[in-house]
Amino acid sequence: MRKPGSRPFRVATRSTGREINRQIALTLIRTHQPISRADLARRMGTRRGAVSLLVNELIEEGMVYEGATGEASRGRKPTFLYMDSRGRCAVAVDIRATRSFLMITDLVGRQLMEISSFATDHDPARFIKELGGRVKRLLAEHRDLGRCAGIGVVVPGMVDRDGETVVHAPALGWRDVPLRRPLASATSLPVQIENSGKACALSLMWSARGDANPPADLVFVSVSDGVGVGVTVRGEILRGRHNVAGEFGHVPLSVDGPPCACGARGCWESYVSNLATLGRYFGRPLVPGRPIPTEAATMTVDDLILRARGGDGKALAAVQSTARYLGLGLASIVNALDPDRIYVGGEITTAWDLIEPTVRAALAERALLASHGDTEIAIVKAEDYPRLRGAAALIGAPAFAASVVA
């Protein structure tokens, strides 16, 4: 018998199989709703009577409800099943170096209202006070959305294993900042905190729409104010001993490269972040936490891409340079992890039709094996809000997670 590892687990009992089937049923209903009991039984490969017993329990617990009736060529008309998120909601928060974003969702991650944002104050106490006040006002203005189940927060930095403290967020200048408890106290709501890259990877696995069965081994790379990377291995988030696994953004491309917000030089992030791209256009390094020229502060990467598409040669050169560095960094990920698929999100991806050949060429140049150069790369559109979706998943996903048993 294989000895269980150090991960928390509980000993299997006679009820374990039923609990696992319950989680499978919940996940299938979430990803395929509306779905009939007969279709659910077929997907689970079990008898309809057994599935009906599970579904009845889930209905009694308020997890599932029966909705519309479908058509049938013969026999009884099927009644469709839905996840029951009625009267409950979650608040998703995406903290970035420049602005922070808020979204209210239902418990399966569907957006319920317009996204709002505000300037990020780098002083932790002032930021928590501002965020807490905005969350309370937002919920008070939308009481019709029901009871809030909690706040999911993603941060551009490392979070301790307990999910209490932001250990290091270079772009914010935060070290060992308690965040979960002060925000919970300010809002009187449960709070869950996660690194932005890990949250994006979680959102892919948990998404209520799109690909319901993403690859078991995937990597999400979020390129924005910084670079966040989330890694899943065999369908689980890779965390490491201190919950900081996957920090490829601070792996150096050159030890003599440009300064990074973390204090080192030549980190991948210092070559591909939004500030790095804009800095190349203006011919000077732009570093978080340092004064930025007015002309650079008022321009975004989206503006730069529009200029590149409009024939501005300097803008196109800046974007293509970022593309090359992006590909070189992706090669490090492929060589180290050999994932089934890499997802890339962030503003630079709006120019994917312009930069994909450059990214691919740089990836192939540094890949250890020729086959690595063909690693699938999928673009996640900015309008899909992967970071906010990941924040929402921090509140909704635990209901679908099964315990590790041995």
pLDDT in tens, 66-114: 876 656 555 567 788 877 777 789 999 999 988 999 999 988 788 998 9
- What one-letter code names the amino acid at 94? D
Largest CA distance in the chain: 73
- Which residue is listed with tokens 């369908």? 235
Q: What is residue 8's predicted lDDT score, i.e. its pLDDT? A: 53
Query: Comparing C-alpha atoms, which of 150, 47, 145, 107 is closest to residue 400?
Result: 107
Q: Which whole number is the average pLDDT over 50-54?
A: 82
pLDDT tens readout for residues 126-166: 999 999 999 999 999 999 888 899 999 999 999 999 999 99
Q: Identify whether 4 is preceded by a cis peptide bond (ω within 30 of 0).
A: no
pLDDT tens readout for residues 343-361: 999 999 999 999 999 999 9
CA neighbours within 13 Å on the CB side: how many for 356?
10
State percent of the chain over pLDDT 90: 55
Q: What is residue 210's predicted lDDT score, i.e. its pLDDT? A: 43
Q: What is residue 194's predicted lDDT score, i.e. its pLDDT? A: 95
Residues 6+ apart with CB under 8 A from 78: 36, 37, 38, 39, 69, 70, 72
Q: What is residue 270's predicted lDDT score, i.e. its pLDDT? A: 94
- Strand, coil or helix: what is 139? helix
List phi, psi (to 5°) of 222.
-105, 115
d(CA 323, CA 289): 24
Cβ 195 vs Cβ 155: under 8 Å: yes
Domains, the chain, ranges and CATH? 16-83 (1.10.10.10), 88-203+388-400 (3.30.420.40), 209-384 (3.30.420.40)
d(CA 64, CA 56): 9
CA neighbours within 13 Å on the CB side: how many for 328?
16
pLDDT tens readout for residues 7-23: 555 555 555 566 777 77
Cβ 91 vs Cβ 148: under 8 Å: yes
- Which residue is listed with tokens 């691919």? 360
Residues 6+ apart with CB under 8 A from 44: 21, 24, 25, 28, 51
